[in-house]
Amino acid sequence: MLAQLSDSVAVDLARAEGLVDQALAASPHYAFAHFVKGQVLRAQHLCEEALPEYQMVITLDHNSVGGLFNTGRCKMLTGSLDEAMPFMEQAIRLNPRNPFIGFYFQSVGTVYLLQSHTDEAITWFEKARSANPGYWPFHAGLASAYALSGDTERASAELAEARRLSPDDRYSSIARLRAVGYFGVPKVRALFEATFFAGLRKAGMPGE
């Protein structure tokens, strides 16, 4: 669901929510159950509600990479960009060989992009692409950042790669991407419009 790989999101979320609530009722201090509850809430675009679950995970397990990273991710999506970065960076330090490290790199790059630190964003998006070159959002992030930096040739190439790898047509237009993605609370969505989507337009993505 969070990796955008489910074909039955509503059914999967409902089943996951029921199962994790049962687990928490039986073991309220089970860190992994709180983590899964956070993931279910985040998949429902309820990051404010997910944050206490991830923070409980960290309370129960100070070195929980998943708890740390997802706390940072939710802080980004709820508008606390400056608070987000330390959690993401700590997660990377604790487990730099995490199989999901590309997502972690991408999220750091996204924070930089939203803050209009385009060069830093490019560095982290390139690291994400190197970690997992087959995952389409990494190429989309690079397309936007390259375009904002003025490198429209590489931006166009990355957008084409994102379209080739994506299992659907989400990169056919800005409107389509907005419809299938979640870009945080209103003030964060405004930042995405001014940076991420603005870059994709420069890279050649039509508005409609």
Is the pLDDT score of 34 beyond 80? yes
Q: What's the chain's length in residues?
A: 208
- Reduced to 3 DSSP states, what percent helix, strand and coil does the chain have, rounded to the nearest 5? 75, 0, 25
- The tens digit of pLDDT for each residue in 192-203 reads 999 999 999 999
- Average the pLDDT over 47-76 and give the result: 96
Residue 166's pLDDT is what? 97
Tell me the pTM: 0.88
Residue 27's pLDDT is what? 76
* Stretch among 16-20, 97-101, 117-121 having the lowest mean pLDDT: 16-20
- Taking the C-alpha atoms of residue 52 and residue 146, their distance in angstroms, rounded to an integer, is 36
- Taking the C-alpha atoms of residue 131 and residue 97, their distance in angstroms, rounded to an integer, is 10
- Taking the C-alpha atoms of residue 18 and residue 25, their distance in angstroms, rounded to an integer, is 11
Is the pLDDT score of 68 beyond 60? yes
| Average pLDDT value for the chain | 92
Burial zone of 138 (CB within 10 Å; 0-12 exposed, 13-18 middle, 19+ buried): buried
pLDDT band at 9 (very low <50, low <70, confident <90, very high): low
- Average the pLDDT over 71-86 and give the result: 97
CATH fold of 1-95 reads 1.25.40
Token pair 């309370």: residue: 59
Is 64 in contact with 57 (CB distance < 8 Å)? yes
Residue 96's pLDDT is what? 95
Residue 158's pLDDT is what? 98
CATH-assigned architecture of domain 99-208: Alpha Horseshoe (1.25)
Is the pLDDT score of 29 beyond 70? yes
- Average the pLDDT over 60-85 and give the result: 96
- Parts of the chain belonging to CATH 1.25.40.10: 1-95, 99-208
